[in-house]
Structure 1
Amino acid sequence: MSGSSGGTKDNILEFFVQAANQHDFTLDITLNVKGSVITGTLISANEYFNTLSETFEEGNEIAQFLSEQLAEAGQAAQNNNSSEAYFIHMKETKVYCGDSKPTPSKGEFLWRGKLAEIDGFFLGKIFEGNQKEV
């Protein structure tokens, strides 16, 4: 795992990502990224790519090609036993910039980010006043 000095990945966060990628571990987490707050559930790269693939399945020929490529990327990610992770994948994601409502404010969204760009994190999700924790 990488050290935790400036410009590198947090080795504890990378450990969580590796657990997700290698063991289908999920975790509610909130990230600080360049002044934004990103909250959601950590998922494996395989789940991320497979879920993304499903959004293109029913489309035209190009969409179906994209779906296949994303499914293959998910399979490759699952078969990758690399000791290092470079990206974090999340579902049910909301992004907060300042005191405004999150973006997106409705629906469930996937998010992918570079581990080396994350400034900090805490365990747990942020819920809006009208949301209930499931």
Structure 2
Amino acid sequence: MSNDDVLSMYVKAANKHDFNLAITLNINGALVTGTTISAQSYFDKISESFEDGNDVAQSLSDQLKSASETAEKSSSDEARFIHLKEAQVYCGDSNPTPSKGKFLWRGKLSEVDGFFLGTIAKDK
């Protein structure tokens, strides 16, 4: 399955220029909403969550830092994943998952059925 060229362009802008874009993705009937971030930022933020843990957590943190450095140096023009911050997933009319807090999300571009610019704001 091929990626949407426009969506790929947004992801490349995020990866190469730290371009942040509020976006909502349609994936297999679910809506994933958030703000684009670079692959490097995604791996950096995930790595930080493991830094103060035990030896296994520290090893994971180190591997994620390495992935971040690889993402930064990557000269490939092909984007395969999209990374979102402040992400929420909506299935039907239910409350989003997660419903509280700020979360990072990573998904395959090849799985995106459609998208629109902007995020979903749940009435409070």
Deviation at 1:81, TM superposition (A): 1.3
Hey, what does 2:112 align to over in structure 1? 118
**TM-score with structure 2 length normalisation?**
0.98
Pairing 1:24-63 to 2, within 5 Å after superposition = 24-63=18-57
Q: Check if 1:13 corresponds to 2:7.
A: yes
Rounded Cα–Cα distance in structure 1 between residues aligned with 2:67 and 2:88: 24
* CA displacement 1:38-73 (0-9 Å, x = unmatched): 000010000000000000001001100100110110
Q: Measure the CA separation in 2 of the matches of 1:123 and 1:81.
A: 27
Residue 94 of structure 2 is aligned to residue 109 of structure 1: no
* Percent of residue pairs bearing the same amino acid type: 58
How much has 1:83 moved relative to structure 2? 1.1
Aligned residues: 124
Unaligned runs of 5+ in 2: none
Distance in 2 between residues matched to 1:71 and 1:28, nearest whole Å: 26
Aligned partner (choices 86, 97, 110) of residue 92 of structure 1 = 86
Determine if contact 1:29/1:124 at 8 Å carries over to the other structure.
yes
Match in the other structure for 2:60: 66
CA contact (8 A) 1:22 1:81 kept: no
Root-mean-square deviation (Å): 0.5
User: Which segments of 5 or more consecutive residues in structure 1 lack a partner in the other structure?
Assistant: 1-6
Tell me the amino acid that sits aligned with residue 18 of structure 1. K
